[in-house]
């Protein structure tokens, strides 16, 4: 009998892991003392050095005068693609980000049979719970489990959201949308357009929430929580707990690249530009790589990201650089496309692929 190939062995192991329906948390519950081979990343932290001490992403303070806030938001999106948003109480009542995080954690720590009842890769009713959205496409799996809720353009079946975190998740989506609306207005102004320019292209209507749970890891140096990637959409609103691990790749004026820790700041939200906004801004704003490194702390990390995308998905509705930004002096850098083509290109690749922007470049 011919020996099975490493590729078929891996496929069988992936299938068995997925069919256990308990995610990475299930591995931890089983008492693993090493990272299984499926999750081992070859030299995961070798791509670029860490930033020197004291380097951090910019901060946008909403309590400052409006013209300063607009300038700071545009500069952060242009130079970094990421920023902390603080003093946002007019948009998000105090304590609300922490409430959602505190509700997502207990779901992931329910007994395995209770979690397994929710497990599945299809977004049935707009909701799914699984491990690694690209599990069967990526060269190595990452150390995280995820609840996804598609809030738009079609609302989810709320009954499918796990009851232990349902009300908090629904409540947080409304607050995150208010934040995204305000930030999109600032970014539109930074492009020299009216404040409603991005919202008018339906960029607030497509909404996907991902609630990530990164279990305690026995060998954090051998795997990753999230591989280096860019977000595909327009804008991401992220809340994270106090554990840390998010890092952003920044290239300075001398062309040197390094990874910058996005240290958790009490009360701060993290905002980042996605690939589609880089395209729509004709490269004025940039979508940058980021990753989650595993920590050696004896506590799981929880984060919640809400990705905002255009909600108008018809084949005749085309996206590309905003027409007001394009001229003979500033020609378009990307071709126009329907959202179906854009999303299809994203889901055909593994998360770490850098090909999405290149796919649409002229």
pLDDT value of residue 46? 74
Q: Does position 286 have pLDDT exceeding 60, yes or no?
A: yes
pLDDT of residue 190: 97
Confidence bin at 42 (pLDDT 50/70/90): confident
CA dihedral over 227, 277, 72, 255, signed as positive or negative: positive
Which segment of 95-99, 185-189, 236-240 scores lowest on mean pLDDT? Answer: 95-99
Determine the pLDDT at residue 235: 98
Average pLDDT of the chain is: 94
What would the mean pLDDT of 219-223 be, rounded to a whole number?
94
- pLDDT score of 355: 78
pLDDT at 100 over 90: yes
Residue 41 · residue 29 · CB < 8 Å = no
**Mean pLDDT across 140-152:** 97
Q: Measuring CA to CA, how many Å separate 273 from each of 47, 79, 276, 283? A: 22, 11, 8, 11
Distance CA 306, CA 172 (A): 9
pLDDT value for 95: 80
Distance CA(240)–CA(211), nearest Å, equals 10
Q: What is the pLDDT of residue 161?
A: 98
Query: With bands split at pLDDT 50, 70 and 90, how would you rate the model's confidence at 48?
Result: confident
- Decide: 147 and 129 in contact? Cβ < 8 Å: yes
Alpha helices in the chain (DSSP H): 6-20, 23-29, 66-79, 96-108, 112-116, 166-190, 197-200, 275-280, 339-347, 355-360
- Residue 43 has a pLDDT of 79
Task: Identify the pLDDT of residue 352.
Answer: 64
Task: Please state the pTM of the whole predicted model.
Answer: 0.95
Look-up of token digits 């395209």: 279
CATH superfamily of the 7-38+54-357 domain: B-lactam Antibiotic, Isopenicillin N Synthase; Chain (2.60.120.330)
Region 70-99 average pLDDT: 94
Residue 2 has pLDDT above 60, yes or no: no
Instruction: Dihedral sign for Cα 134, 135, 136, 141, please.
Output: positive
Q: What percent of the chain has pLDDT over 90?
A: 86
State the pLDDT at residue 5: 67
Q: Are 252 and 170 in contact (CB under 8 A)?
A: no
Q: What is the pLDDT of residues 222-270, one digit of tens each?
A: 999 999 999 999 999 999 999 999 999 999 889 999 999 999 999 999 9
- Percentage of residues of the chain with pLDDT beyond 70: 97
Domain layout of the chain by residue ranges: 7-38+54-357
Largest CA distance in the chain: 75
Write down the pLDDT at residue 3: 53
Kindly report, residue by residue over 296-339, the tens digit of the pLDDT. 778 999 999 999 999 999 999 999 999 999 999 999 999 999 99
Please count the CA atoms within 13 angstroms of the CA of 275 that sit on its side-chain side: 21
Q: What is residue 347's predicted lDDT score, i.e. its pLDDT? A: 81
């Amino acid at each position: 009998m011919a020996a099975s190939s490493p590729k078929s062995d891996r496929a069988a192991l992936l299938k068995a892991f997925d069919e256990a329906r308990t995610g990475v948390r299930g591995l931890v519950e089983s008492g693993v003392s090493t990272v299984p081979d499926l999750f081992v990343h070859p030299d995961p932290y070798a791509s670029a050095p860490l930033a020197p001490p004291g380097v951090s992403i910019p901060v946008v303070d909403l309590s400052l005068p409006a013209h300063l806030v607009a300038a700071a938001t545009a500069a952060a999106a242009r130079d970094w693609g990421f920023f902390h948003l603080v003093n946002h109480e007019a948009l998000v009542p105090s304590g609300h980000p922490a409430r959602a995080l505190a509700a997502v954690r207990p779901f992931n720590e329910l007994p395995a049979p209770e979690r397994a009842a929710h497990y599945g890769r299809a977004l049935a009713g707009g909701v799914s719970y699984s491990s690694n959205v690209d599990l069967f496409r990526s060269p190595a799996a990452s150390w995280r489990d995820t609840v996804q809720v598609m809030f738009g353009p079609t609302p989810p079946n709320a009954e499918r959201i796990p009851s232990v975190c349902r009300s908090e998740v629904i409540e947080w989506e409304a607050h995150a949308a208010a934040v995204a609306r305000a930030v999109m207005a600032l970014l539109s102004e930074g492009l020299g357009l009216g404040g409603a320019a991005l919202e008018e292209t339906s960029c607030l209507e497509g909404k996907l929430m991902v609630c990530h749970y990164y279990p305690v890891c026995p060998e954090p140096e051998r795997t990753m929580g999230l591989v280096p990637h860019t977000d595909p959409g327009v804008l991401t609103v992220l809340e994270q707990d106090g554990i840390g691990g998010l890092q952003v790749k920044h290239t300075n004026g001398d062309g040197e690249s390094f990874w910058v820790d996005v240290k958790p700041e009490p009360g701060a939200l993290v905002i980042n530009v996605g690939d589609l906004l880089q395209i729509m801004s004709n490269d004025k704003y940039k979508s940058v790589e980021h990753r989650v490194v595993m920590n050696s702390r004896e506590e799981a990390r929880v984060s919640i990201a809400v990705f905002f995308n255009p909600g108008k998905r018809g084949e005749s509705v085309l996206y590309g650089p905003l027409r007001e930004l394009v001229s003979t002096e500033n020609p378009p850098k990307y071709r126009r496309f329907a959202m179906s083509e854009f999303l299809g290109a994203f889901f055909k690749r593994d998360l770490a692929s850098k090909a999405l922007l290149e796919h649409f470049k002229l």
